[in-house]
Amino acid sequence: MIRNKVLRLSSLVRIYYFRLIGFNIKSGASVGKIICNWPNKVSIGFASNIEDNVVFKINQPFDANNGIEIGSNVFIGCNCEFNSSAKIVIGDDCLIASFCTFSDNGHSFENQDLIRNQRCTKQDIVIGKNVWIGTHCSILEGVHIGEGSVIGAGSVVNRSIPPNQVWAGVPAKFIRNRSTHS
C-alpha cells in the first residue's frame, strides 16, 4: 500500500515536471519514466497510462503540423517508440502493448545515388479509437488503422487497415473480421 502511494506520488511529480517543460498532459494521466526531445509537441489525453521507457522523438520540431497526439484512456506499454517527422495520432481507448514502434517517416532508395544522400519521406500515422496493438509491432508511415481493429503481436503494418478487422504477420495480412456478441 505504501509502495503504491510512493509510485503515485512520483508519477504526479513527473507529470508536474513534464507540464513545466511543455508537455500537454490532461488530468488523470499516469506517466512513467519517459524520454522526449520536444515535449511541447506531445499531447497526452485524460486518464491515459504511459509506462516506463517510452520514447517520443520529434524529428522536425519547427514544422507546425508535426507532433504526437495520444487520446484519452489510452494504455501504452513499456519500451514503445514514437518517431515522428509528420504526425502520429492515437485515438481514444487504445491498448498498445510493450515494445511497439511507430515511425511516420522513411527514406528513398533509388539506385542512382547513395541511399544516405536521398530524400526522406513522411506521412501521418492515424490509429482509430478502440484499437488493440500487440507486443513488438511496427506501424510504418502512412498507415491508418480503423476503429476497433486488432493487430497481432510481432506484426509489421505497412498499409492501412479498415475498421473492426484482425490483422497479423510480416507484413501484416487480413486474418478475419471482428465478430459481434449477440
- Could you list the active site residues? 107
How far apart are the C-alpha atoms of 48 and 148, rounded to whole Å?
18
Q: Give the side-chain half-sphere CA count within 13 A for 112.
A: 3
Contact 68, 81 (CB under 8 A): no
How far apart are the C-alpha atoms of 99 and 134, rounded to whole Å?
9
Report how far apart the first and last C-alpha atoms of the chain are (Å, whole number).
41
The candidate with the shortest Cα–Cα distance to 100, out of 60, 65, 163, 143, is 143
Q: Which residue's entry shows cell 514514437?
A: 82
Task: Tell me which amino acid residue 37 is.
Answer: N
How far apart are the C-alpha atoms of 65 and 58, rounded to whole Å?
11
Q: What is the largest CA-CA distance in the chain?
A: 63
Contact 36, 22 (CB under 8 A): no
